Amino acid sequence: MRLRRTTVLIAIMSISAVLIADGHLSGILADSPRSQATELANLAGRLGIEIVTADPVFPIATAHGAIEGRSADPDEIERFAAIFASEFRRYPAALMRKTNLKRVVLCSELNFAAQRRTVIPDFDHDTLYYDVGRGSYDETYVRKVIHHEFYHLIDFCDDGMLYEDAAWAALNPAGFEYGSGGRNAQDMGGTSLLTDKFPGFLNHYSTTGVEEDKAEIFANLIVAPEYVAARIRTDRTVESKSKRMKELMANFCPSIDAGFWPDSK
- Beta bridge pairs of residue 130: 106, 119
Do 106 and 33 belong together in one domain? yes
What is the predicted pLDDT for the residue at 51? 92
Residue-level pLDDT at 186:
59
Is residue 191 one of the residues assigned to a domain? yes
Mean pLDDT over the full length of the chain = 85
Asked whether residue 103 is domain-assigned, the answer is yes
Average pLDDT (147-165) is 95
**130 and 169 assigned to the same domain:** no
Does one domain contain both 94 and 210? Answer: no
CB atoms closer than 10 angstroms to residue 188: 12
Over residues 44-55, the pLDDT tens digits come to: 999 999 999 889
Domain membership of residue 83 as a residue range: 1-137
Residues 128 and 203 placed together within one structural domain of the fold: no
Look at the pTM and tell me if it is higher than 0.75. Answer: yes
